[in-house]
Amino acid sequence: MFWGLSDLTREVLPTLRKQHSGHIVNVSSIGGLTAFPAFGYYHATKFAVEGLSQSLAKEVQPLGINVTLVEPGAFRTDWSGPVSCGPYRND
């Protein structure tokens, strides 16, 4: 995930620099702010997205380019089946 985000950012930056404006929106998660057992690689990619986005925002702000980092928290889902929904299950 991180390398795709990085590659796409490198692709769009020349155009945004030329027009002296633009907005990059990167999606991370709460997993980029804190870590939980058994999710090390997931957290590593999210921490990388956080670091790149925060640094990039400071680098491109003088050029009129904005960077927004979206960090969604937990939300109900049954991506791995109804069991993962716990008490929120809606049958």
How far, CA to CA in Å, does 46 sit from each of 2, 8, 12, 75, 90? 8, 16, 21, 17, 30
pLDDT greater than 60 at residue 90: no
Indicate the domain borders of the chain: 2-8+20-74
Tell me the C-alpha distance between 77 and 47, whole Å.
Answer: 23
Structure confidence at residue 82 as a pLDDT band (50, 70, 90): low
The model's pLDDT over 29-74, given as tens digits with 9 standing for 90+, comes to: 888 888 889 989 999 999 999 999 999 999 999 999 999 999 887 7
Mean pLDDT is lowest, of 18-22, 27-31, 52-56, 76-80, for 76-80
Indicate which residues carry an active-site annotation: 28, 42, 46
- Say what the pTM is: 0.76
